Structure 1
Amino acid sequence: MSLSDQLNDILASLAGFGPATWLSISFCVLLLVELLLLRSDRTLTRKLLAGLSAIVIAVAGVWAALSSARGFLFMHLLFVDNQAVFMQVVVALSALFVLLYDVFTHSDNATSNSINRSGLPLEWYSLLIAMTLGLFLMTISVNMLSIYLSIELVSICSYLLTALVADRKASEGGIKYLLFGAISSAIMLYGMSLLYGMTGTLDLTAESFGTQLAGQDSSVVAVAMMLTLAGLLFKLAGVPFHIWTPDAYEAAPVPVAAFFSVAPKAAGVLVLMRIVTALPLESAFGSVSATVIQTPLAVLALAGILIGNLSALRQTDAKRLLAYSTIAHAGFLLVGVVALNNAGFDAVLFYAGTYVFISLAAFFLIDLLARSNGSDLTISQFAGLGPKQPLLSVALIVVMIALTGLPPTVGFTAKLLSFSALYDTYQQTGNNWLLALFGLGLLNALISLVYYLKIPFLLFFRPAVSPTEPQKQPSLPKAAIYLAVGLTVPVVGLFLKPDLLTRFIADW
């Protein structure tokens, strides 16, 4: 390709790169505004930065949704398709919701207990924009170089957001997050180097990538692929790179932990789908057995579901409980990928699109209930709050049922689509690991029911914990209540009308 052709390709690619360009420029502007207003009134500065951040994220999401640009960008470095656009909208929605929740619940006179759940410093707004940029880039990356760089951008922002609050627990959680992130990145780079050595290209969509892999030993390809997936499993909180999750979630403020539970999973699972589909499972040049990647992924999915659910049973802190819940849901997300068919991939998109509302609502509602009692997030402190906060408590019951995967919530529909696609694949392949994942995965709904309903049980069937000294109960911001409860509307609505989202995914 001549120099003029390369320049023309770059200019043509700018149209599809608009949302990422907008986020990059906005990140620099926010940093500049923060520096210029460093000595100004802190409350006004926070309101200005929050408003600008909300506008930036909303514009990026709308721009991505309305853009008609599709195809390869920058000489096959990036690729924009409907799946990428859908995940970008999911990321933008989650970022906007956590930003609004932080604005609604922030108080400059917060106590030391509540600072760990809100009261984020001003730097958090620009870091949220930078992390959103990294996630947008992850969704359109099809080159191993762009995949690695975008994951590292997301990871660096994640480390900083975890340790942003000035206390010992946050610093400890951030360091643990950093150490495990460095290990997973090193393993991922080693896997990518093996794939590059076998194929001679970094482009997952290149014809030579599939051609060369088809001529390699299947076990070698399996090892290289699983090593490469290490970084993605880290962002997904998937086994065996899940160790950081409970400590980081407990240390991070509630809006940050809520964002971690949704956005990196949505972007990470899409990249994982792209890598898996790059394998020449059926090709004119040869093929790699589907079980080479299918069986290891099924084992990891099953391990994530089991470890997440069984570990959550023993938790006494609500955020740690939700952290182990996200590990289990990372396993459920992998179920659709393991199916290795279009129905499974569509189920993954549906799961990610609905999990935004379920997970964010769970974090917000639990935080608001703890605030209403003036207590921390210890599970025992939720006893007796049901009659005092009936709206929040009923909404939390709906969300917990959705996390379990029972009707009448969209959590049931999401699991139904994923496991239906998995069972279809099992009937075609006869792979016993798929049957084990199908049976034990569904059985785990009973295990998860035990800990998901622990807090609702305490809310209504246990007396309130008597404080040693009478305390004035803080009033909750109504806007935050409306936001948290409002997120439960699509949780039930999409169960009654799932075609609103399934048709959107299929036609878009």
Structure 2
Amino acid sequence: MTLADQLIDILNSLGGFGPEIWLSAAFCGLLLVELLLRSVPDRARRWVAVLSIVAVGVAGVWAVLLPTRGFLFMHLLFVDRQAIFFQVVVALGAVFVIWYEILTLPKRLPIEWYSLLVAMTLGLFLMTLSVNLLSIYLSIELVSICSYLLTALTADRKASEGGIKYLLFGSVSSAVMLYGMSLLYGMTGTFDLTADVFGAELARQDGTVAAVAVLLTLAGLLFKLAAVPFHVWTPDAYEAAPVPVAAFFSVGPKAAGVLVLMRLVTALPMQTASAGATMASLQKPLAVLALAGILIGNLSALRQTDAKRLLAYSTIAHAGFLLVGVVALNQAGFEAVLFYAGTYLFISLAAFFLVDLLARSNGSDLTIRHFAGLGPKHPLLSVALTVVMLALTGLPPTVGFTAKLLSFSALFEAYQQSGEGWLLVLFALGLLNALISLVYYLKIPFLLFFRSGPAQPDSAQPAQVSGGAVWLAIGLTIPIIGLFIKPDWLLELVTGW
């Protein structure tokens, strides 16, 4: 391609890059505003927050209305309906967490968090579009740097410790991923996952060697998913981060990361015998990682006494459930992943917001035993949290049941087609773990309604809970019930948008 053709391609690509350009400009603008308004009253701070919501919301709407589809910037990025779907999920998550932070001002974050969240959203948007190893790496690093800063943003020891642990594990996973990418480049001679030569050259390699290179490359994606074995940072970072930040961590990086994971898996060749060996070599380790995530997440959550750490281990288990759809390696499995990620947005955000509001209303921290007896005092919040816990378990009448049903149905379909016994083992143990999770998910509802609360210490000062924050958290539970009754509303977007 000549230099003139490259310049023409870049100019033509700008039409499909509008949301990302907008977020870049918004990030720079917010940085400038925050520098000028560092010591400002709450009213001025609210304007900064509103500007952040507008920036992210406009990017999400722009992505949906974007007329351009296809490759951008010489196959660095690719715009399709899956990318747009996950961009909408990320944008909604960012809007909800900023909105919640506005409504809970007594525990407000440093003003810099708005620009950092917009920058992280930009990185996640780029991740959803990336089909080139170089763009994948750069976008993941942008998301990671913003994540480290957001974790350690508050000036206390726990936040600093959580941020450092996050940084150390992130650096290791990034190094492993970069080594895997270098191996893939050495084998194929290209960074482009969509190039014909990528699949052709990878098919010529030994299946086990190619699978090892791909698994090393997946390290960064597994880190963003909080999936085993790059999950160790999760409970400490979630506990250290403020509730809105931890809530966004549980949704945004997972959505973008699982899409990049699906793109990488589907780029692998399947048309030759050696390629088939590659896929088989990759499918089994992915199944092991999925099962390990489900087991470690659920068993570790049983011992937790802090609600945020419990939800952190819950996200590890749900990363395993997300991988179940990928392990199926069929169209039904990939559609189940999209549905799961779309519904998990509402479930996870509602869980973090509701436990935070209940703790605020009681003037206590997020220790689980402090939720005892709050059901009669705060019936709306308690009933909504019970619904959310049922959804996290995967029980009807919540969309969590539908999401797990679709994932395991796709896995069983893959077993029927291949006859591989280990797929059936993953199917059975995955369902068994859904039952194990009942023990810790229903612990909080049990305490809310069937145990009397301990005597409050004199230092406990219940905070005035904003009615807007309460209705926001309760409103997030409406789709959890509604999408169980009418899952077609989301399935049509996933399958036919």
| TM bracket (short chain) | over 0.9
State how far apart, in whole Å, the 1-side matches of 2:225 and 2:21 are.
Answer: 25
State how far apart, in whole Å, the 2-side matches of 1:175 and 1:471 are.
Answer: 31
* Residues 85, 470 of structure 1: alpha-carbon distance in 2 compared, 3 angstrom cutoff: closer
State how far apart, in whole Å, the 1-side matches of 2:74 and 2:146 are.
Answer: 27
Query: Helix, strand or coil: the match of 1:23?
Result: helix
State how far apart, in whole Å, the 2-side matches of 1:463 and 1:330 are.
Answer: 34
Alignment of 1:250 with 2:249, yes or no, is: no
2:119: which partner in 1? 130
2:55: which partner in 1? 56
Alignment of 1:457-472 (within 5 A): 457-469=446-458
* Residues 220, 284 of structure 1: alpha-carbon distance in 2 compared, 3 angstrom cutoff: closer
Deviations 1:426-449 (A, max 9, x none): 111122221111000000111100
1:166: which partner in 2? 155
State how far apart, in whole Å, the 1-side matches of 2:461 and 2:308 are.
Answer: 25
Query: Cα offset for 1:68?
Result: 2.0
1:16: which partner in 2? 16
State how far apart, in whole Å, the 2-side matches of 1:349 and 1:434 are.
Answer: 21
Deviations 1:292-327 (A, max 9, x none): 111110000000000000000000000000000000
Q: 1:213 aligns with which of 193, 202, 223?
A: 202
Root-mean-square deviation over aligned CA pairs: 1.2
State how far apart, in whole Å, the 2-side matches of 1:470 and 1:190 are.
Answer: 52
State how far apart, in whole Å, the 2-side matches of 1:251 and 1:453 are.
Answer: 24
More displaced stretch, 469-478 vs 401-410: 469-478
Deviations 1:238-282 (A, max 9, x none): 000000000000000000000000010000000000000010012
1:34: which partner in 2? 34
Structure 1 moving runs of 4+ over 3 Å: 283-289, 470-473
Alignment of 1:121 with 2:110, yes or no, is: yes
Q: Give 2:386's aligned amino acid.
A: I
Deviations 1:16-75 (A, max 9, x none): 100000000100000011112234x23233112101000001100000011121100000
Q: Is the 8 A contact 2:97 2:244 kept in 1?
A: yes
Equivalent pairs, count: 497
Q: Give 2:29's aligned amino acid.
A: V
Q: Give 1:338's aligned amino acid.
A: V
Alignment of 1:172-183 (within 5 A): 172-183=161-172
More displaced stretch, 348-357 vs 422-431: 422-431
Q: Give 2:176's aligned amino acid.
A: I
Q: 1:345 aligns with which of 330, 334, 348?
A: 334
State how far apart, in whole Å, the 2-side matches of 1:248 and 1:164 are.
Answer: 12
Query: Helix, strand or coil: the match of 1:290?
Result: helix
2:284: which partner in 1? 295
Q: Is the 8 A contact 2:150 2:241 kept in 1?
A: yes
Alignment of 1:413 with 2:402, yes or no, is: yes
Deviations 1:216-242 (A, max 9, x none): 000001100100000000000000000
Q: 1:456 aligns with which of 437, 445, 469?
A: 445
The TM-score, its normalising length taken from structure 2, stands at 0.98
Q: Is the 8 A contact 2:181 2:217 kept in 1?
A: yes
State how far apart, in whole Å, the 2-side matches of 1:316 and 1:28 are.
Answer: 41
Q: Give 2:128's aligned amino acid.
A: T
The TM-score, its normalising length taken from structure 1, stands at 0.96
1:402: which partner in 2? 391
Query: Cα offset for 1:471?
Result: 5.2
2:73: which partner in 1? 74
Q: 1:200 aligns with which of 162, 177, 189?
A: 189
2:374: which partner in 1? 385
Q: Is the 8 A contact 1:368 1:476 kept in 2?
A: yes
Q: Is the 8 A contact 1:280 1:288 kept in 2?
A: no
State how far apart, in whole Å, the 1-side matches of 2:274 and 2:302 are.
Answer: 49
Deviations 1:134-181 (A, max 9, x none): 000000000000000000000000000000000000000000000000
Q: 1:306 aligns with which of 272, 278, 295?
A: 295
State how far apart, in whole Å, the 1-side matches of 2:135 and 2:327 are.
Answer: 24
Q: Is the 8 A contact 2:392 2:400 kept in 1?
A: yes
Deviations 1:184-219 (A, max 9, x none): 000000000000000000000000000000000000
| Percent of aligned positions that are identical | 74
